Every structure is written in C-alpha cells, then in structure tokens.
C-alpha cells in the first residue's frame, strides 16, 4: 500500500540527481513511491533517471518551473502523504519514518517538518534549528528557513491549497507562498532533528536569477495578507539587496566596474536603506572597504530582529539552560595524553560546562580510557576523518551558547573557561575570545613560557593581520559564540591540516576577536626537527588546498599570506630530501628538492649556497640550527 508519494523535480541536475534519488530509495519506510519530474532538462538527467528502471516513476515535461513540476508529480501519485525533495538535496536516514510518526501523533497537524543541515559552497556545514512550529504571523514576520525537502503534508491539505502557484516560475517564491497557504489550513508538527542535507545556493546568484519576478512576488503577498506581510516583504527586499550587493563586490574584484555599479544600483532599488545601514556610501566604492562592510553587515549582532528569529538556531535548541559552554575534544590514538587532557577540562573552575569527546577512529586504547569516565563526559565515535569533522560533530552534539575546543594532547589551566566567557560577556561585539599559550614537551616540560601566534599584542586583529601571520588562532585557546560558529559552518572538512587557520579567517569575517594575553593553555609539541619536517611534507596537499581556498575567497589579499606561507615547506622538503640521500634513495631525494624549489624557488641557494648543497652533513646541521631558532614550525 502506497502511503507516501515522494516528488523530486529535476532540471539539468545530472551532477546531483543520483545522490538525491539514492537517499530517497534508501529510506527505511514501507509504502513509498518515488516520482521524478524532469522539467525540460537538456543535459543527461533524463538518461540517468531511466537507468533506475521501475524503482522510480519518471515524468517528462517542458520547462515550466519547480512549482509546476511538483504539481505534476503530486497529480501522478496516490499516497495520502506527500513529501518533496529537491534534486540537489539529500535526505538523511529516518527522514520519512520520523516525520510520518510526528503526523500520526498529531492528528490535527496538516504538515510535519524537521531541522536541516545547511552546506555552503565551500563544503562547510551547520545545523539549522527550525523549531518550534511557527504561527502564520511568525511566517509573515521574516523569511522562514523551512525548506520543501523537510515537509511531509497530507494530500487533502495540498489539494485544498490548490498546489504550488505556477505563476511563480520567474519569482522563485513558490515554496514560500505554498508554506503560507498550508499554515492557513492548520498547525504544523515539528521533529527536533536534522533530516535533510540542504545545499545552500550562492546568494550572489539568486537575486539575478529571480529578479524578473521580484515585484510580482511582493504584490501577491501584499494582495493576500495586506499589512500583516510587511515584515516578510521587507525581509525579501533585504535579501535581494544583499544578493545584488554581493554580486557588486565580485564584479569590483574582477574589474567589471560598469556591471558592479549596475548591481549596486539594483541593490539600492530593492531596499534603499540597505546601503546606509552599516556604513557610509562614499566608502562603499573601495573594494576592500566594501568587503569589510559586508562582513560587518552580515554579523548576527547587526541583523534585523525579525531575521534573527529564523537564523539563530540555538535560541530554542538547548534542552538544559544551565549549560553555557560545550567543550569539544577531538582525539585520535591519544592514549598517552587523553587522560591528562580530560582531567584539565574537568578541573575547570566554571559551572555550566558539558564535555564532548569525539573519538576519531582510534585504534589504540583511547576508547577504553574514555569509557572509564562514565557520564562525566559524552563520547561520540566515528571513523577516522580528520580533526575538522570531529570538531564540527562535537559542536553539533552540544547545546551550550559558547563552544570551546581542546585538542587531545593539550592542557587548560583551571580558570581558562572562566576568563574567556567573562571576556565575551563583557564584550558583546566580540565573536571569539582566545588566549596566549605556553609550549610544553612530550613529558610536560615547559619549552616556551608564553606565546601568541597571531602577535595580537593588545591591538585590533584585522582580517589582513590573520592573512599576514603564519598561523591562525590555536583551537585549544579559543571560545566562540555558537551562533557565529553555526553561521559560517565551523571548520572546513576538506582540510586535515590548516583547518584552524581557515576557521580563524572565516570567524573574523563576522566580528572582532578578544585577546587574553595570559597563557591559559599548554600546547604540546612532540618530535624533533626531522619529525616536524615529515609532518610538513605529509600535509603539503592540504597546504595547497588551503592556499586555493584563501585565493578564491579573499582575492588579492591572499598575497599577504602567500609570501611566507610555503617557506617552511621548502625547508621541510629539503630536510626530508637529505634523509633520502643519506639512505641512497636519490630519485625520492630529487623529487623532494624539486618540490622545495616549487614552494620557494630561491630557498636552496639563498639559505645554503651551491657549495653547501653538496655537503649533506653540513646542510643537515644547518637545518637543525634553523629549527632550534624558530625558522619553521
């Protein structure tokens, strides 16, 4: 018996449609039919659909928009419940079963929805909390974040609403209007769990895509809801203004001045106050100042109060109001240090901390050590996928309004959390607080009494400062507001190294950092110069990825970072190359020397001289001297 009709509209979706369909077919739910409506695709989408045979039903039609495609799919189905899935989104396991159960528990509810995980273009993810169920006035106050991929509604409700309005093809607002119509029919049921992976489109492209229907969308909302829709119309206007403004920044960076000014004027046309809300118009025409202004304007502390209801996901997420800080400890094969690390976290002179340890696929006795702590900590286990994903999963599992990180081999002094939280409470404009740290060796001996990687000696730490130093903020030293963490998605999971530096850059886009100059963290350094060089060699692919991400995101300012960033890698590849030469592996040695030249062409001749390159023992001594004197880390 068919209980649920799953409708997937697709138009030129060859790159993502297979993953979407597989996530629908993979649901552990009896009584589902999957109907895919090909909305005039000109790529290989239709051939991919036909490869599924009778596991799905395919309907082909000329291109008429997502609303018309969804309506055609609903008419072709027979389930009493209707679910929607966009062709570039993915359902998580249990999506249908849990939303169907929510409707069964609430016979008066006309639709059930869930939280979602939003994924940006750079791959970063953040959980978006969408509860509690909104009233109609809530939906009319600001743009709701409830995406069609989270919906499960009754067929009779869909039919009473008349389906999606197909005149919205050029507006892109058919799902928003449909959500309002459904809410007129009755209340919603809410599943407090993310069940959809939602790929967020580029803001700079949405405005131009749907600009032709912008005025029509506002007119239909005002016609049906009158003055009640004032907040929603204002929010839509702001979003279009922001979209065109970001497009203007991109064109300024590309030197397309005419197109940039045209986008800027369209932004003003959408919402005239937007251009004045966060800065002076005379500064807007300088590209760097425009970027800084935009980052400031997008900071949650500057957002309109109506918008923050939909964007701030943790306002209702915490089930324990006494929890203020979520401490996340990623660990991989940390049996030698994890007990000391956990004890330093548990010894904090701070009330309201929860400790979440993410075991990142350890193969030693780490898991047994963690289990010995009982309910004093929460343990999350996963296959080995790197510290970035481990930290993100730990943060998502917590409920504190602040998030702190502590690596599995570092230590905190007892008042570390107290100092950082007090700093953030006293400085509401700061998005992150961090401290200096001391370096310790493998056995706990102090190597450096106090250190600040960012050289933030009491001055303002700008984004250019972070691009011009050799590291970001040490994760074990920082405490960040959860709202900021979830706004930009946390650590970039494409990186297994330098993820902390990229995290610092992304966080700095959203507001200021507060620096505590006391050493509140003990950072453990393990290994000699050869071990350090081997580590640099191992992480060189991540270094290239990091430079590529920075270049793509920050444009010309990336040269500040590029100038010194790869020099330590040149040193590391030369040291490893000398080791290969000593062992008689000449081909491997030459490969390392070639990579060193690629990192910094002047390095071998500038540092060693041609005659020293022929004296391997002398060169090795020289590099040891460089390491001891801090020329690379």
- pTM over 0.95, yes/no: no
Between these two residues, 228 and 458, which has the higher pLDDT value? Answer: 228
512 and 439 in a common domain? yes
Domain-embedded: residue 8: yes
353 and 482 in a common domain? yes
**Res. 633 pLDDT band, cuts 50 70 90:** very low
- Greatest alpha-carbon span in the chain: 86
**Res. 103 pLDDT band, cuts 50 70 90:** very high
pLDDT on residue 82: 97
Question: In CATH, what number is assigned to the domain containing residue 153?
Answer: 3.90.550.10
277 and 191 in a common domain? no
**Res. 342 pLDDT band, cuts 50 70 90:** very high
Which among 526, 552, 577 is the end of a domain? 526
Contact 543, 565 (CB under 8 A): yes
248 and 155 in a common domain? no
Domain-embedded: residue 213: no
Contact 263, 203 (CB under 8 A): no
pLDDT on residue 539: 74
Q: Which structural domain range is residue 242 located in? A: 230-312
User: What mean pLDDT, rounded, does the chain reach?
Assistant: 80
The per-residue pLDDT for range 437-447, each reduced to its tens digit, is 888 887 777 77
344 and 253 in a common domain? no
**Res. 303 pLDDT band, cuts 50 70 90:** very low
246 and 190 in a common domain? no
| Burial of residue 199, with CB atoms counted within 10 A of its CB: 0-12 exposed, 13-18 middle, 19 or more buried | middle
- Position 179 pLDDT exceeds 70: yes
Residue with tokens 């018996």: 1
Dist. CA 5–CA 589, nearest whole Å: 61
**Res. 6 pLDDT band, cuts 50 70 90:** very high
Between these two residues, 228 and 622, which has the higher pLDDT value? Answer: 228
Closest by CA to 241, choosing from 206, 217, 213, 216, is 206
Contact 345, 369 (CB under 8 A): no
- Position 116 pLDDT exceeds 90: yes
Domain-embedded: residue 17: yes
Q: How many domains does the chain have?
A: 4
Q: Where are the alpha helices (DSSP H) in 298-455?
A: 305-311, 338-346, 366-371, 387-397, 416-426
Domain-embedded: residue 288: yes
The per-residue pLDDT for range 224-266, each reduced to its tens digit, is 999 999 889 888 888 888 777 777 777 766 667 787 788 878 8
Closest by CA to 71, choosing from 170, 197, 155, 182, is 155
162 and 63 in a common domain? yes
Cβ neighbours of residue 366 closer than 8 Å, sequence gap 6 or more: 331, 332, 333, 334, 335, 338, 359
pLDDT on residue 454: 42
444 and 538 in a common domain? no
* 616-628 helix and 567-582 helix, angle to the nearest 10 degrees: 140
Dist. CA 201–CA 209, nearest whole Å: 11
Domain-embedded: residue 599: yes
Which among 178, 200, 222 is the end of a domain? 200
CA distances (Å), origin 379, targets 75, 109, 239, 360, 410: 47, 36, 40, 11, 18
Between these two residues, 282 and 107, which has the higher pLDDT value? Answer: 107
Domain-embedded: residue 576: yes
The per-residue pLDDT for range 190-209, each reduced to its tens digit, is 999 999 999 887 655 555 66
- Backbone angles phi and psi of 347, in degrees to 5: -90, 10
How many C-beta atoms surround the C-beta of residue 159 within 10 A?
A: 12
* 567-582 helix and 540-554 helix, angle to the nearest 10 degrees: 160
């Amino acid at each position: 018996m068919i209980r649920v009709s799953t409708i997937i509209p697709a138009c030129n979706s060859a790159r993502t449609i297979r993953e979407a369909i597989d996530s629908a077919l993979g649901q552990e739910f009896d009584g589902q039919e999957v109907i895919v409506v090909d909305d005039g695709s000109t790529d290989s989408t239709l051939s991919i659909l036909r490869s599924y045979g009778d596991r799905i039903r395919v309907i082909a039609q000329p291109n008429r928009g997502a609303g018309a495609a969804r309506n055609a799919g609903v008419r072709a189905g027979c389930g009493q419940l209707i679910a929607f899935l966009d062709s570039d989104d993915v359902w998580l396991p249990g999506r249908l079963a849990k939303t169907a159960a929510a409707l069964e528990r609430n016979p008066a509810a006309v639709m059930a929805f869930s939280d979602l995980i939003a994924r940006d273009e750079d791959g970063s993810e953040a959980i978006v909390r969408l509860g509690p169920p909104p009233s109609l006035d809530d939906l009319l106050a600001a743009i709701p974040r409830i995406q069609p991929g989270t919906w499960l509604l009754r067929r009779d409700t869909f039919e009473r609403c008349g389906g999606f309005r197909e005149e919205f093809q050029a507006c892109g607002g058919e799902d928003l209007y449909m959500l309002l119509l459904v809410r007129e029919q009755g209340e919603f049921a809410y599943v407090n769990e993310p069940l959809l992976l939602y790929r967020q489109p580029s803001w700079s492209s949405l405005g131009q895509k749907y600009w032709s229907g912008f005025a029509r969308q506002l007119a239909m909302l005002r016609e049906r809801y009158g003055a009640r829709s004032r907040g929603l119309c204002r929010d839509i206007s702001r979003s279009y203004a922001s979209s065109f403004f970001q497009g203007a920044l991109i064109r300024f960076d590309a030197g397309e001045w005419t197109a940039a000014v045209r986008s800027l004027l369209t932004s003003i046309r959408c919402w005239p106050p937007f251009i004045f809300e966060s800065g002076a118009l005379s500064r807007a025409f300088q590209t760097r100042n425009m970027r800084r202004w935009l980052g400031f304007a997008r900071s949650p502390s500057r957002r309109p109060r109506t918008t923050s209801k939909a964007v701030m996901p943790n306002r209702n997420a915490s089930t324990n109001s006494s929890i203020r800080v979520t401490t996340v400890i990623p660990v991989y094969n940390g049996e030698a240090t994890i007990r000391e690390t956990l004890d330093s976290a548990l010894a904090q002179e701070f009330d309201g901390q929860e400790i979440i340890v993410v075991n990142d696929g350890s193969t030693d006795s780490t898991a047994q050590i963690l289990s010995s702590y009982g309910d004093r900590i929460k343990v999350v286990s996963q296959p080995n996928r790197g510290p970035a994903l481990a930290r993100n999963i730990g943060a998502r599992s917590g409920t504190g309004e602040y998030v702190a990180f502590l690596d599995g081999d570092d230590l905190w002094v007892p008042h570390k959390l107290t100092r950082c939280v007090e700093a953030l409470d006293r400085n509401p404009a700061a998005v992150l607080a961090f401290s200096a740290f001391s370096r310790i060796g493998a056995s706990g001996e102090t190597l450096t009494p106090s250190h600040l990687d960012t050289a933030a000696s009491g001055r303002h730490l700008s984004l250019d400062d972070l691009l011009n130093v050799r590291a970001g903020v040490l994760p074990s030293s920082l405490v960040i507001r959860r709202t900021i963490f979830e706004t930009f998605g946390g650590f970039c999971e494409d990186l297994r190294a330098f993820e902390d530096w990229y995290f610092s850059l992304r966080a700095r886009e959203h507001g200021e950092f507060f620096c505590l100059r006391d050493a509140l963290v003990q950072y453990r350094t393990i290994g000699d110069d050869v071990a350090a060089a081997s580590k640099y060699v191992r992480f060189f692919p991540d270094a290239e990825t990091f430079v590529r991400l920075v270049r793509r995101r920050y444009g010309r300012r990336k040269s500040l970072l590029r100038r010194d960033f790869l020099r330590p890698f040149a040193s590391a590849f030369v040291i490893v190359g000398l080791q290969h030469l000593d062992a008689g592996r000449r081909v491997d040695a030459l490969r390392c020397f070639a990579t060193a030249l690629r990192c910094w062409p002047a390095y071998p001749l500038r540092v060693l001289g041609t005659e020293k390159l022929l004296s391997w023992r002398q060169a090795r001594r020289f590099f040891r001297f460089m390491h001891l004197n801090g020329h690379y880390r």
